[in-house]
Amino acid sequence: MRVGIFDSGIGGLNVLKEVLKKYPSGEYIYYGDTKNLPYGNKSKEELLELSKNILDFFTLKKVDIIIIACGTVSSNCFYELKKISKISIYDIITPTISYLKSLEKEKIAIFGTKRTIDSHIFSKNIEKEVLEIATKEFVPMIEEDKYDLEIIKKYANMIKDYDVLVLGCTHYPIIKDKLKKYLQDNILIVDMGVCLLDNIKIKESNNLKIELYFSKIDNTLKENIKKIIKYDYKIYEV
């Protein structure tokens, strides 16, 4: 089975990493739209246009399923993309909401991009106390591999009384350990890539093959990839 996974940049690689833990033999084709990141400040129309182009790319690659490993696209464009896609397509938000509904914990904080937070997709679908916070500085910090701990601390301090923190952007697991330094020990941190695995089945191939495509490649990107993906892969700029 050929699996297509996409995001605005390296964030979706965290989803690929989780998928590889469960399905270590398969063909994975990843697309990161680094030329157009961040997605979090783009209009829905822009997101749809960019995503349609990526769907066309995956069609040419003859993938069997597509995973939207982007919280912003999942929260704003999933249903539109599902209607037009001839390939089975999965989003990252729906399984996360299902998981949050199953929890007994009632106070849930969401960190996400501005576009994801503005959609209010979590608060509209979860009948619990939900605090949605746009953490607009996080994606640029992660992509550039330059971290301001005071900014991370500022956001962590906003959710001191909450039981659950949802990393509502697939970039954010990269700073999970940095966030934990400023959070209470008993808070449950939810990774959307892990939630996805409970809702998707992948038919494995005999051998592992990973192809990573990006719309723009630089040395920082290459170094970031090495920190996330511990398997052999080929990388291309398209």
Give tens-digit pLDDT for 194-233. 999 988 999 988 899 999 999 999 999 999 999 999 999 9
pLDDT score at 213: 98
Whether 70 is catalytic = yes
Give every CB contact of residue 222 below 8 A, 6+ residues apart in sequence: 235
pLDDT digits 0-9 by tens, 141-188: 999 999 999 999 999 999 999 999 999 999 999 999 999 999 999 999
Q: For the packed helices 219-228 and 11-22, what is the interaxial angle rounded to 10 degrees?
A: 30
Residue tagged 């979860």 (tokens): 126
pLDDT score at 123: 97
70, 77, 108, 202: the catalytic one is 70
Q: How far apart are CA 133 and CA 103, in angstroms?
A: 20
pLDDT score at 151: 97
- Decide if 73 contacts 96 (C-beta within 8 A): no
Helical spans, DSSP H, in the chain: 11-22, 44-60, 71-84, 94-102, 114-119, 121-125, 138-144, 149-157, 176-180, 192-197, 219-228
- List, in order of start, the domains of the chain with CATH numbers: 2-91+197-237 (3.40.50.1860), 94-195 (3.40.50.1860)
pLDDT digits 0-9 by tens, 41-99: 999 999 999 999 999 999 999 999 999 999 999 999 999 999 999 999 999 999 999 99
Give every CB contact of residue 212 below 8 A, 6+ residues apart in sequence: 13, 30, 32, 225, 229, 233, 234, 235, 236
Q: How far apart are CA 115 and CA 134, in angstroms?
A: 8
Whether 169 is catalytic = yes
pLDDT bracket for residue 9 (50, 70, 90): very high
pLDDT score at 198: 86
pLDDT score at 133: 98
pLDDT score at 205: 85
pLDDT score at 66: 98
- Return the sign of the alpha-carbon dihedral for residues 157, 159, 162, 166: negative
Residue tagged 């330094």 (tokens): 181
pLDDT score at 13: 97
- Decide if 55 contacts 86 (C-beta within 8 A): no
pLDDT score at 52: 98
Q: Which two tokens stand for residue 6?
A: 């996409």
Give pTM, 2 decimals: 0.96
Q: How far apart are CA 232 and CA 83, in angstroms?
A: 34
pLDDT digits 0-9 by tens, 115-129: 999 999 999 999 999
C-beta atoms surrounding 24 within 10 Å: 10
